[in-house]
Amino acid sequence: MPCSVLPRPPYHVVIFRYRRNGEDAAGYEAAHRNMLDTAQRQAGCLGVETIEGAGGDGVTLSYWSDEASIRAWRAQDARCLSREKDRRGWYAQYALQVAQVERAYDWSHNEANDSAPAPVV
């Protein structure tokens, strides 16, 4: 999975970790796509990545230019399908964190210099 191309910090990340309960897979997939589309159309969204294992454990990371953009997205998402269905109907558990990224580092095998990762500060 390619990583989102992000600007130099600071920026914000919303971390949504979950374990799905296996119920209503079609409804969940539709709501998840809708939520991602809503986020990517929202001003201030820098990118979204989701990783989900076969057992239903997953994490969605959404990156934002500022906290006001996150609040605006949450208000917009409140009117979307992802909130119309009680989340407990899809999840065995979930946790959400919002954090500010102050430093970021990256490295790629394709880079000419295979030395230590360079900071993106």
Considering the domain boundaries, does residue 16 fall inside one? yes
| Structural domains of the chain, count | 1
Q: Is 1 part of a structural domain of the chain? A: no
Domain membership flag for residue 113: no
Which pTM was predicted? 0.79
Q: Is 72 among the domain residues?
A: yes
Examine residue 121 and state whether it is found in any structural domain, yes or no: no
Q: Confirm whether 74 is domain-assigned.
A: yes
Give me the phi and psi of 102, to 5 degrees please: -105, -30
Residue with tokens 């119920």: 23
Residues whose CB is less than 8 angstroms from the CB of residue 106 and which lie 6 or more positions away in sequence, other chains included: 3, 117, 118, 120
CATH code at position 77:
3.30.70.100
Question: 24: domain range?
Answer: 11-104
Q: In the prediction, which pLDDT does 1 show?
A: 44
Task: Give me the amino acid identity at 33.
Answer: R
Residue scoring higher pLDDT (3 or 106): 106
C-alpha atoms less than 13 angstroms from C-alpha of 120 in its C-beta half-sphere: 13
Query: Which of 61, 68, 18 has its CA nearest to residue 42?
Result: 68
| Rounded-to-integer distance, Cα 6 and Cα 25, Å | 31
Confidence of residue 13 (pLDDT cuts 50, 70, 90): very high
Using CA of residue 98, residue 101, residue 104, residue 108, what is the dihedral sign?
Answer: positive
- On whether residue 63 sits in a domain, the answer given is yes
Q: How far, rounded to the nearest angstrom, does the alpha carbon of residue 81 sit from its chain's CA centroid?
A: 17
| Residue 111: inside a domain | no
Per-residue pLDDT of 19-78, as tens digits, reads 999 888 888 888 888 888 888 899 999 999 999 998 889 999 999 999 999 999 888 766
